[in-house]
Amino acid sequence: MKKRKKSKSILLGLASTAAAGAGLAYLLKVKMEDDAFKGKVKQSGAAALFKTLEGINAVLPKLPRPSIEEYVSENFYEGHAEFRDTSVRGAKWKFGYARASLTPDDYLLKDYYLGGFLNYPPNTVKSVLDDIAVRAVCLDDGSGRGAAVFAVIVCIGLSGTDVRSIRALLADFAKANNIVSINISSSHCHSGIDTQGIWGVLPDILKNNVVQIKRGNFDNLISGRDPEFMDSLHKKTAGAITQAFADQKAGKLMFKTFNDLKYSHDKRKVGPKVVDENMTKLHFIPDDGSAETVGVLMAAHPTALDATMGELSADYIYYIEEEVNKSGSNFIFFQGPQLAVGVDRSFVSEDTPGRGFQAYGREIGKYLLGITVDEEEKILPILNVRNAEVFVPAGNFFMLTLLGAGIVNNQVVKTGRRTKDIMFVTEVGYVELGKTLRLAMMPGEFAPEMLLGGTSNSEESCTGMNWDFPPMKKMLADGTDLIVIGLCNDSIGYILPDNDYGCIFDDGHYEEAVSAGAQTGSSLVGAFETLVDDCGRLNK
């Protein structure tokens, strides 16, 4: 009898709990129609999640990190100590090009994880659609101040640690040949091999790494990166750079910036709707009549392929190259400020063969080749390059967890005893080509509104604050054309204006989940402004 009463009490309790739960769910549903209440719920959820991650970080065994006072800069290239305003009399551009395939031969013999989209189980390479590669160019203006190298790897992103490992392989060569600047960026292709570590079997990675860190076996850490592939990537990139230097020939360097090809759109649901509508063609014509080089600077995510199909591909970039190669020319691609910028294929003819992304690339290739030399502007042989190291606060506990577990290998330093007292060590760069063409090299996926203008004001932003910096284009003298190269010399995630760094659960705020932290935008744009000022180029 007592058991029956107890069972009855339990059933009544469960029924009461269910009724209360149903009532609470209904009340929550009604309240969630109130935007203010919904916002508070999301903010509370995000705060709870970050608190949980902070707790996890606090109990994780610690990797050895230098303090900011102990940090020693290695394999960083400052660039030209002296900037020139005029070319040397009689000087000509020296320009070299090289390309090396990175596609592994053994992709069916072991798992290569595809970097770009998180799935469980993770996506692996099952077939090769086209070639992934590193492309490099070497420039020298004949002034005797030293050459500069710009390489681009078809991958999702490359940490500053990897960039500096490649530079270390080149240290003796660079010193012997007066190479004063080595810059390596990524195409941000989402159908290439994981080069950052995030897209492997995360539960197995975490389990292994926590144990190995606790034991002090730091060489036994694993991630989504394949060590042999990364070693090959380092060596092949260094090899391409030495080849580009050896390939240098005298000739003319030309460019044309245009915006009559609507090739991109802003995918954001909320906030600024800004894209860099410009596309810039670079064109080197050697005096000896050998192969010309065509380059393009544009901003659009290469995310076309379904990662679950396992196709290894450079996306549309390969098909621009394919078209350019038909003319006998070399090709190089630079990714721009593509924070949330997708491709727009509306200009693509239905008659263009291939899948959508292939046709998109081929049409861009044809367009670039259709621009004649007469339409291009000559770049005087003036090359000025300067880089600066920057310390960026790491306030995002997603990123801190990835760092703490040894999954990503970005360079960081400690600034205090707390888990969150961490700063990324990264870099920004500034380049002048001729009298008017200017480049800003930024270490992540850059928001175009910080370059062009159009950031949210205090009434529009999610923090209720203004963005305190002018558009980067306005930091330079009138008549110059500033272009951003993104994911350059590092990859620390999305780079947003501080005043639009909001709750990760809000619509249109996915980027915050994979950003270094809330101060990333101001840290990097502020560093760029200081760098330009140090070069004597700030428009005051």
- Phi, psi for residue 44 in degrees, rounded to 5: -65, -40
Cβ proximity of 78 and 430 under 8 Å: no
Tens of pLDDT, residues 470-518: 999 999 999 999 999 999 999 999 999 999 887 555 666 667 778 899 9
Residue 78 DSSP SS3 = coil
- Is residue 386 domain-resident? yes
219-236 pLDDT, tens digit each = 999 999 999 999 999 999
Q: What is the mean pLDDT of the chain?
A: 90
Does residue 122 sit in the same domain as residue 224? yes
Tell me, what's the pLDDT at 100?
Answer: 99
Judgement on whether residues 367 and 390 belong to the same structural domain of the protein: no
Task: Map residue 211 onto helix, strand or coil.
Answer: helix
Is residue 540 in some structural domain? no
Residues 62 and 194 in one domain: no
Residues 441 and 292 in one domain: no
Give, for 68, the enclosing helix (H) or strand (E). Answer: none
* pLDDT given for residue 352 in this prediction: 83
What letter represents residue 279's amino acid? M
pLDDT at 27: 42
CA distances from 29 to 22, 36, 38, 441 (A): 10, 14, 10, 47
**Backbone phi, psi, residue 398, to 5°:** -60, -50
Q: Which of 18-32, 186-200, 288-302, 478-492 has the lowest mean pLDDT?
A: 18-32
* Structure tokens that stand for 351 in this block: 């008659």
306: containing domain: 93-379
Assess whether 194 and 321 both reside in one domain: yes
Are 374 and 412 part of one and the same domain? Answer: no
DSSP 274-323: -----EEEEEEEETT----EEEEEE------S-GGG-EE--THHHHHHHH
One domain, residues 302 and 335: yes
Per residue in 244-293, pLDDT (tens digit) is 999 999 999 999 999 999 999 998 887 788 999 999 999 999 999 999 99
**C-alpha closest to that of 104 among 124, 122, 131:** 131
Closest CA to 341 of 396, 263, 233, 227: 263
Contact 306, 119 (CB under 8 A): no
My answer on whether 450 and 526 are in the same domain is yes
Structure tokens at 229: 């592939």
Facing residues of 79 across strands? 386
CA 82/CA 535 separation, integer angstroms: 8
Confidence of residue 2 (pLDDT cuts 50, 70, 90): very low
Judge residue 435's burial from the number of C-beta atoms within 10 Å of its C-beta, 0-12 exposed, 13-18 middle, 19 or more buried: middle
Find residue 151's DSSP bridge partners: 136, 184
What would the DSSP string read from start to end of 323-343? HHHTTT-EEEEEE---TTEEE
The domain boundary, picked from 379, 405, 422, lies at 379
* 413, 209 contact by CB (below 8 A): no
Q: What is the pLDDT of residue 38?
A: 45
Do 301 and 195 lie in one domain? The reply is yes
Decide if 438 contacts 483 (C-beta within 8 A).
Answer: yes
Answer yes or no: is 80 within a domain.
Answer: no
Last residue of a domain, one of 344, 379, 414: 379
State whether 389 and 343 are in the same domain. Answer: no
Going by pLDDT thresholds of 50, 70 and 90, the confidence category of residue 356 is very high
Tell me, yes or no, whether 16 lies in a domain.
no
Asked if residue 387 and residue 375 are part of one domain, the reply reads no
Domain membership of residue 85 (yes or no) is: no
Amino acid (1-letter code) at residue 156: I
If DSSP states are collapsed to H, E and C, what string results for 351-403?
CCCCCHHHHHHHHHHHHHHHCCHHHCEEECCCEEEEEEEEEEECCCHHHHHHH
Q: Which of 351, 379, 407 delimits the end of a domain?
A: 379
Name the residue among 513, 508, 454 with its Cα closest to residue 268: 508
Tokens, residue 146: 């030293």
- Indicate whether 37 belongs to any domain: no
Amino acid identity of residue 176, one-letter, is A
Q: Which amino acid is at 449?
A: E
C-alpha dist (Å) from residue 511 to 433, 497, 502 = 32, 11, 9
Kindly report the length of the chain: 540
pTM, rounded to two decimals: 0.90
Asked if the model's pLDDT at residue 22 lies above 80, the reply is no
Contact 384, 81 (CB under 8 A): no
Q: Is the pLDDT of residue 25 over 70?
A: no
Same domain for 256 and 368, yes or no, is: yes
Provide DSSP, 152-203: EESSS---HHHHHHHHHHHHHHHHHTTEEEEEEEE---TTEE-SSSTTS-HH
Instruction: Classify burial at 215, counting beta carbons within 10 Å of its beta carbon; exposed 0-12, middle 13-18, buried 19 or more.
Output: exposed
Residue 55 one-letter amino acid: G
Torsion 493-497-498-501 (CA) sign: negative
pLDDT > 80? residue 53: no
User: How many structural domains does the chain have?
Assistant: 2
308, 119 contact by CB (below 8 A): yes
> What are the residues whose beta carbons fall under 8 Å from the beta carbon of 318, sequence distance 6 or more?
130, 131, 154, 361
Chain center to CA of 240: 21
Question: Which DSSP letter does residue 219 get?
Answer: G
Residue 308: inside a domain? yes
3-class DSSP state of 440: strand
Answer whether 273's CB lies under 8 Å from 266's CB.
yes
